């Protein structure tokens, strides 16, 4: 009986989270819209809306025009407890934004490069500003609050975030790979199921695969680290770094896209580039046709706003986790 009660509580929390997450993604909703998008019954949605309103987690923001009956009430998230410190840490330094739900409060950059200096700088930011959580994005393989970077064939193990979390236990700190964060930001901007995000910069390749709204990690947390794949005694990261012409870059892009399409075949592929070379759409279509002899339905888009998507993704992670904590306390 106790187990059954716990299962019911967990199911209820899951449904409450789905309603909150729908309001986060779509900004606001009527009860009918929530019923349609969450596939929950009208009585369930009505009761959960009442519960969320009682705990000041959502609010009424107005009414839609009537279609003959009562004017539908429109609901949105109550924004007061979502102050998120977003940090992007790279080997060349870091940049940050302090965001209150969807409002930028302040931003800045820091040239600190070594782990101890970055930890000290972030710790100072956390102690200086009133925040509800901190989200850190890094350009490396993330595992257990630590990460490994592969910069020009030098692998480094970074433990400063794990140390930081022990020093600020009163504030939740979340660590995530930067490309997975960009992908979440893209999903927040445009919810597409089964999508792939490919980011290339001067260091190498990062990528992310998502089913619905969840990035996949794999057994070792390596899903998406496509740059580590060896071809002719060189990793794809090394091959991208050694490109000297646009034609060379196109050949590497052909390899990458062929792998993504034949192994995962996602609905949408996003490409963001932080390199000298460009994504030449028509040339790539012709090159793919040489090897894949069927019409491709994959929608390939270039994302020029990857920095914006990065911070949107960190905000999305922060809000999601704060929502979960609020629901746990109900």
330 residues of the chain, pLDDT tens digit each: 555 678 778 899 999 999 999 999 999 999 999 999 999 999 999 999 999 999 999 999 999 887 777 889 999 999 999 999 999 998 888 999 999 999 999 999 988 778 999 999 999 999 999 999 999 999 999 998 999 998 767 789 999 999 999 999 899 999 999 999 999 999 998 999 899 999 999 889 999 999 888 899 999 889 989 999 999 999 999 999 999 999 999 999 999 999 999 999 999 999 999 999 999 999 999 999 999 988 899 999 999 999 999 999 999 999 999 999 999 998
The per-residue pLDDT for 2 is 52
Are 295 and 289 a contacting pair, CB within 8 Å? Answer: no
Domain boundary among 45, 77, 109: 77
Same domain membership, residue 18 and residue 112: no
Exposure b/e, 160-179, CB count within 10 A at least 16 = b: bbeebbeeeeeebbbbbbbb
The per-residue pLDDT for 67 is 75
Same domain membership, residue 44 and residue 93: no
Same domain membership, residue 111 and residue 92: yes
Helix or strand (DSSP H, E) at 169: none
Same domain membership, residue 226 and residue 171: no
Same domain membership, residue 163 and residue 89: yes
Same domain membership, residue 187 and residue 247: yes
Domain boundary among 27, 58, 77: 77
The number of folded domains in the chain is 3
Same domain membership, residue 229 and residue 169: no
Domain span including residue 24: 2-77
The per-residue pLDDT for 22 is 95
φ, ψ at 241 (rounded to 5°): -65, -25
φ, ψ at 146 (rounded to 5°): -130, 170
Same domain membership, residue 286 and residue 258: yes
Same domain membership, residue 318 and residue 172: yes
> Order of strands across the sheet with 195-201?
214-215, 205-211, 195-201, 268-274, 299-302
Same domain membership, residue 295 and residue 200: yes
Same domain membership, residue 162 and residue 199: no
In angstroms and rounded to an integer, the radius of gyration of the C-alpha atoms of the chain is 22
Residue at token pair 């999305």: 316
Same domain membership, residue 289 and residue 301: yes
């Amino acid at each position: 009986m106790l187990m059954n009660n716990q299962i019911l509580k967990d199911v209820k929390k899951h449904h409450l989270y789905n309603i909150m997450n729908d309001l986060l993604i779509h900004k606001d909703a009527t009860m009918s819209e929530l019923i349609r998008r969450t596939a929950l019954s009208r009585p369930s949605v009505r009761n959960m809306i009442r519960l969320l309103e009682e705990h000041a987690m959502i609010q009424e923001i107005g009414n839609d025009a009537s279609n003959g009956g009562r004017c539908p009430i429109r609901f949105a998230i109550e924004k007061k407890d979502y102050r998120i410190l977003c940090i992007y840490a790279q080997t060349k330094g870091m940049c940050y934004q302090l965001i209150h739900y969807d409002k930028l409060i302040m931003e800045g950059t820091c040239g600190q490069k070594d782990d101890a200096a970055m930890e000290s700088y972030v710790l100072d930011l956390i102690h200086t500003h009133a925040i509800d959580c901190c989200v850190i994005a890094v350009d490396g393989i993330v595992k257990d609050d630590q990460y490994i970077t592969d910069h020009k064939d030098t692998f480094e193990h970074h433990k400063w975030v794990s140390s930081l979390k022990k020093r600020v236990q009163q504030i939740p700190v979340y660590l995530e790979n930067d490309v997975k964060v960009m992908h979440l930001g893209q999903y927040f901007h445009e919810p597409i199921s089964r999508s792939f995000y490919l980011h290339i910069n001067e260091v190498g390749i990062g990528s992310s695969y998502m089913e619905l709204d969840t990035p996949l990690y794999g057994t070792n947390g390596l899903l998406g680290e496509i740059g580590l794949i060896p071809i002719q005694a060189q990793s794809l990261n090394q091959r991208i770094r050694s490109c000297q012409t646009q034609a060379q870059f196109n050949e590497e892009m052909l390899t990458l896209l062929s792998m993504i399409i034949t192994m995962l075949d996602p609905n949408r592929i996003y490409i963001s580039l932080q390199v000298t070379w460009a994504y030449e759409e028509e040339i790539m279509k012709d090159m793919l046709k040489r090897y894949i002899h069927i019409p491709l339905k994959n929608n390939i888009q270039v994302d020029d706003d990857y920095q914006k998507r990065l911070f949107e993704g960190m905000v999305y992670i922060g809000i999601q986790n704060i929502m979960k904590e609020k629901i746990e306390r109900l």
